[in-house]
Amino acid sequence: MVANGWVATRPGCRNRGVYRGNRMRIAIDGPAGAGKSTVARAVADALGWEYLDSGAMYRAAALNGSEHTDIRFDGGRVLADGEDVTEAIRTPAVTAAASQLAGDPEKRKVLIAAQRALVSQGDWVIEGRDAATGIAPDAEVKVFLTASPQERARRRAAQEGRPVEEVQREQAARDAADDTLGRSVLTPAPGAVEIDTTGLSLDEVVRRVADLA
Ligand code: DC
């Protein structure tokens, strides 16, 4: 609310009664398979905001073998040093390399700086493991998405056409690896709204998140 009682409104912001300054960020964290990417992308579309897939940056840097890779997003495509790597960063080898790179504190610093630079202007939905702790600790809205381990593995297995048990085993190993070095993969950031997506439709989750904005 501004001093004279006039209430500012913003396009794409449902909660029109609250003055939000001149920009907004929704930071979405949570473990692999909780539905972060799908939800974050859909929320960004629903609100007409930009979407930052921070995991794609770790993947692109891992693919290129350097955290200093110039990474950009262009209409849903991921560009690394100008080259389209959208599909190339989704292989199991890159998944493993990205997890390793993400465990290096010095390399993380470089990527977090690049992520902060990207979201320094405009309205963003930021998705990651440290969106609300590392990239944008001052985000106006913080969301922590969870789902039961079985549900997370089931979704991934369906996506990748693989056995659920195998995916669940890998998922447990990845959670443990991603939960090191101060990265709050399994713990919500202070002030984050926790949403358990088990049994909820995508639309229901998107509505709950967008309603926080
Ligand atoms: O979300 P994803 O699977 O695309 O992430 C790839 C890797 O990067 C994964 O090991 C987790 C890590 N990561 C991270 O440490 N911090 C982020 N903000 C995003 C991803």
Q: Going residue by residue through the chain (213 aa), what tens digit of pLDDT does each one get? A: 233 223 334 444 444 444 456 789 999 999 888 889 999 999 999 999 999 999 999 999 999 999 999 999 998 899 999 999 999 999 989 999 998 999 899 999 999 999 999 999 999 999 998 999 999 999 999 999 999 999 999 988 998 899 999 999 988 887 877 666 555 567 889 999 999 999 999 999 999 999 999
57 within some domain: yes
How far is residue 86's CA from residue 73's CA, in Å, rounded to a whole number? Answer: 9
Q: How many domains does the chain have?
A: 1
Distance 17 CA to ligand 1 centre (A): 35
Distance 31 CA to ligand 1 centre (A): 9
115 within some domain: yes
How far is residue 114's CA from residue 75's CA, in Å, rounded to a whole number? Answer: 19
According to DSSP H, which parts of the chain are helical? Answer: 36-47, 54-64, 92-102, 105-118, 149-160, 164-178, 202-210
User: In terms of C-beta density within 10 A (0-12 exposed, 13-18 middle, 19 or more buried), how is residue 69 classed?
Assistant: buried
Return the DSSP state at 23. Answer: -
Tell me which residue range forms the domain holding 49.
24-210
122 within some domain: yes
Closest CA to 197 of 28, 9, 12, 23: 28
Ligand 1 atom having least distance to the Cα of 58: 8
12 within some domain: no
7 within some domain: no
- Per-residue tokens: 155: 């979704």
Ligand 1 pocket, 133 CB below 6 A?
Answer: no
Q: Which residue has the tokens 């974050």?
A: 40
153 within some domain: yes
Ligand 1 atom having least distance to the Cα of 112: 18
Ligand 1 atom having least distance to the Cα of 29: 18
Ligand 1 pocket, 58 CB below 6 A?
Answer: yes
- pTM, rounded to two decimals: 0.85
CATH at residue 194: 3.40.50.300
144 within some domain: yes
